[in-house]
Structure 1
Amino acid sequence: MQIGFTRRAAVKGAAAVGAAVAVGGLLPGTAVAAPAKETAEGTAEPGLLAKKLPTSANGWTIEKEANHVSTVWTRPVPGTGLTVDVRIGDAEEILVHVIRRFHYEVEELPSGDLLGWQAIGGLRAGAPESNLASGTAVRIRPGASAKGGLFPYQELVLRDILAECEGVVRWGGDDDAVDESLFYLVPGPEDRRVRQLADRLRGWGARPGEGPRRPAGRPAPGGLPPAPARRTAPRAAAGGADGLAGARLPGLARRTVPLGLMDGRRLHLRRRP
């Protein structure tokens, strides 16, 4: 069998291929991935894929700066006059809630006693404090990081704040390397507990008077201690300035007199007949 392949046909074919290559060099190109590299385990890794962004200890992406091409911005802590550099979104909702309760129920904070985002260069990578670099941690009273910086009644209230966060927020005072000033998110960005807690807190803010309904003594998720019993204000002496101290309220075994509203929850003074 003869194949009709002449020298003239071969020359024409080569010329056509050369022209196509030349034209291709003049046209806009499309990026092509480099060949995959084999790892020691035999799995392939795409050569031109973006490198994985560095993360803090809890798995959130580290930010190089705040307030510029970043997920970290300076945010207000409502009702306190304070601001903090924090990761916007769910992390902000949760950490601002913790700061706010601490300010009102543990100790009033001056502006210098609250710090948020810090550059990773000044932190220990892989340690809980690295979470500051991702905007998912704050320092409250940064100068009081040593153990024993809180009075017992203050720690009792702090435990209630942590229990309210249901294991999403951890206090550095419970770490092996104690840092009582540090508060940070434990779950990573894909953990649904973060969104669930943030949504719950948003709901409390939208509907004043609502709040946690966990009975005292019931353990919270995450191995945290049970919520302490809610304390009521002590009975005032008769003849108090409000005109109600010691007064009997006929017809009912118990009554409560509203005292005010703080952080979305109504406080009451319990009166006995």
Structure 2
Amino acid sequence: MNEPSGGTLGRRSFLSVAGGLAAAASVGFAPAALAAAPAASTSANGWPLRHKDIAQFKVEGSGAVVALRSGDVATVLLHVARRFHYEVAPLRPGQISQTGGSAPFESNYLSGTAFAIRPDLYPAGAKGNFFPHELAAVRDVLAECEGIVRWGGDFKKSPKEGHFQLDVKPGDIKLVRVARKIAQWSPGKAAGTPRDVFDESRRRPAKVLAERQIATG
């Protein structure tokens, strides 16, 4: 098996200490995090904090639960989580976190527009934790979401490879369009259906989007 694609801390080296951190890591949605929300009225990506429309959703096919803004936001981000579960690594109860440190993008957890998968395995500040086929799947789902979802692995400052967030503001018509596309897909295109993420017709748009998002990270 190939090693993960380069970076400051590969997954295999991190796995040796992950077991000890797992017990202390805050994985899963914590209502207390909402109570501790900062005085600002919106998260870093422009969405209202502590809003009544945030609800808990189970990630289909897994035991993981995530708190998301109901409607189009949940449709898109649940699709990302499902594809991660089926194509990158299985998600178990408590393996989605919505608590974090002081990085501005972590405020997005409080608006139900972001989540972090396995912060024990994909810790903040570490890169190179994905094997090539896993990274290809991540890039493919970002392209499938037409760029309205941003991956924390592309952040130049404080990268966080388990982090995924909505990257458009409320009222953006692109969110409506992408959510409608995902909602109308037949089971043949739903998350969990095998995709050839190395097919050139899929790799090309994924590469173009990756270059743009990395440049603006």
**Inter-CA distance 98–128: structure 2 relative to 1 (3 Å threshold):** same
| 1:162 aligned onto 2:142 | yes
Which structure has the bigger radius of gyration? 1
Amino acid at match of 1:224: A
The alpha-carbon deviation at position 224 of structure 1 amounts to 2.8
Of 30, 36, 59, the match for 1:77: 59
**1:112: Cα distance to partner?**
2.3
Counterpart residue type for residue 223 of structure 1: L
- Over aligned residues, Cα RMSD in angstroms? 2.6
Q: CA deviation at 1:221?
A: 10
Contact 1:167 1:222 in 2 (8 A): no
> Which residue of 101, 105, 113 maps to 2:83?
101
Q: What letter corresponds to residue 102 of structure 2 in structure 1?
A: R
Report the equivalent of 1:147.
Answer: 127
- Report the alpha carbon displacement of residue 115 of structure 1 after superposing the two structures with TM: 2.0
Using the TM superposition, give the Cα deviation of residue 218 of structure 1 relative to its aligned residue in structure 2, in angstroms. 3.6
Matched residues in 2 for 1:157 and 1:220: separation? 10
Q: Does the Cα contact within 8 Å between 1:60 and 1:189 map onto a contact in 2?
A: yes
Instruction: Give the counterpart of 1:129 among 106, 114, 126.
Output: 106
1:84 is displaced (CA, Å) by 1.1
User: Aligned-pair distance for 1:129?
Assistant: 1.3
Deviations 1:161-212 (A, max 9, x none): 11111101000000012111110000001111111111111001xx222469
CA 1:186 to 1:200, structure 2 compared with 1: closer, same or farther past 3 Å? same
* Residue pair 2:55, 2:67 contacting (<8 A) in 1 also: yes
- 1:1-273 matches, within 5 Å, as 54-63=41-50, 70-116=52-98, 118=99, 123-124=101-102, 127-143=104-120, 144-145=122-123, 146-176=126-156, 177-204=158-185, 207-210=186-189, 215-219=201-205, 223-224=209-210
- Find the aligned partners of 2:206 and 2:161 in 1 and give their Cα distance: 21
| 1:123 to partner: Cα distance | 4.7
Structure 1 gap segments, 5+ residues each = 1-52, 65-69, 227-273
CA distance in 1, matches of 2:188, 2:171: 30
Q: 1:203 to 1:63 in 2, by over 3 A?
A: same
Give the direction of change, closer, same or farther, for the CA distance of 1:222–1:216 in structure 2 (3 Å limit). closer
Residue identity opposite 1:131 in structure 2? N
How many equivalent residue pairs? Answer: 162
Q: Tell me the distance in 2 between the aligned counterparts of 1:198 and 1:77.
A: 16
Q: Which structure has more helix as a fraction of its residues?
A: 2
Q: Quick one: structure 1 residues 221 and 62, their matched pair in 2 at CA, closer, same or farther if it must change by over 3 Å?
A: farther
Distance of aligned partners of 1:84 and 1:57 in 2 relative to their CA distance in 1, 3 Å threshold:
same
Q: Match of 2:159, SS?
A: coil
Unaligned runs of 5+ in 2: 1-39, 213-217
Between the aligned partners of 2:49 and 2:207, the Cα distance in structure 1 is 28
Give SS of 1:73's match.
Answer: strand
% identical aligned pairs:
42
Higher strand share: 1
Cα–Cα, structure 1 residues 210 and 109, in superposed 2: closer, same or farther, change >3 Å? closer
Helix, strand or coil at the partner of 2:161: coil
Is the 2:140–2:206 contact (alpha carbons within 8 Å) kept by the matching residues of 1? no
